[in-house]
Amino acid sequence: MRYLVVVAHPDDEVLGAGATIYKLAQIGHKITVCILSGEVSARDHRPRIDELHKDINSSSSILGVKGVITGDFPNIEFNIVPHLKLVQFIESAIIETEAEIVFTHHPSDLNNDHVHTSLACQAAVRLFQRKSDVCPIRELLFMEVPSATEWGLNEAIRKFTPNTFIEVDEKGVNKKIEALIQYRDVMRAYPHPRSQEAIKGLAAYRGGQAGMIYAEAFECVFRRGL
């Protein structure tokens, strides 16, 4: 199976689906990560671009990611990027990877870039309806990014509601944490949501919801077939 993880920023892919990516890679699936903003100009203590790309490669290697597609959309400014440009970039990634299953951000996330990534991705996955030579998408799933998704406080918008739980073992959670550590200055001390303790705790909580030891939770919003 071919998976595409579409995210706004470097590290979002690990925060949202790191243990799942590792599990899928270990059993032979092909995972590609599409990062729309390959720079972190709005981040405090931001690394140099060459350092960031090194971090991306190191993190991806730990998880077993087969390829990374990086865009140059402006960090925390997706709201001023024409929607069509975001959609077309994701469409090109879908075509290049022949993706069958896509993970992306939840549209009620607090982070502006996450929201616009989700909206663009929702439009892009319909590409197979217009082009018969494009591999149809089997599933679209929203993921949760700690320190962003849970801060979607607007009660007028439906919040992240997981309905799909992927079981990951303790090794998978540890690999997720190890991959996150590759991104310099991303991790924080507990009780921050991006601390090792909180990440492992969230995996235990999501696992407990579904009768598992550890799990990552997703919201499946589109599925073709049985």
DSSP string computed for 95-132: HHHT-SEEEEE-TT-SSHHHHHHHHHHHHHTTHHHH-T
Rounded CA-CA distance 184/181 in Å is 7
Tokens standing for 105?
């951000």
Whole-number pLDDT of residue 41: 64
pLDDT for res 47: 78
* Pair 31, 5: CB distance under 8 Å: yes
pLDDT for 101 equals 98
Asked whether the predicted pLDDT for residue 197 surpasses 60, the reply is yes
* Number of domains within the chain: 1
- Amino acid code (one letter) for 66: K
Instruction: Evaluate if residue 226 carries a pLDDT over 90.
Output: no
Task: Write out the two tokens for 123.
Answer: 């439009």
* pLDDT value at 156 more than 70: yes
On the question of pLDDT at 141 being above 90, the answer is yes
Q: Is the pLDDT of residue 193 over 60?
A: yes
Q: Could you tell me what percent of the chain has a pLDDT over 90? A: 92
Residue type, 116: H
For residue 136, what is the domain's CATH number? 3.40.50.10320
Burial of 161: CB neighbours in 10 Å, binned 0-12, 13-18, 19+: exposed
Domain assignment of residue 36, given as a range: 2-223
Residue 181 pLDDT: 97
Range 11-36 average pLDDT = 98
Q: In the predicted model, what is the mean pLDDT of residues 106-123?
A: 97
Q: Report residue 9's pLDDT band, with 50, 70 and 90 as the boundaries.
A: very high
pLDDT, mean of residues 197-223: 98
User: Are 121 and 159 spatial neighbours (Cβ–Cβ below 8 Å)?
Assistant: no
Question: Is the per-residue pLDDT at 128 higher than 70?
Answer: yes
Cα dihedral 60→23→134→113 (10° resolution): -50
pLDDT digits (tens, 9 = 90+) for 39-96: 766 556 677 889 999 999 999 999 999 999 999 999 999 999 999 999 999 999 999 9
8 A C-beta contact, residue 20 and residue 63 = no
Task: Indicate the average pLDDT of the chain.
Answer: 95
List the one residue out of 74, 116, 75, 66 whose CA is nearest residue 93: 66
Mean pLDDT in residue range 90-107 = 98
Complete edge-to-edge strand list for the sheet that includes strand 101-105? 67-70, 30-35, 2-7, 101-105, 139-143, 215-223, 164-167
pLDDT at 40 (0 to 100) = 67
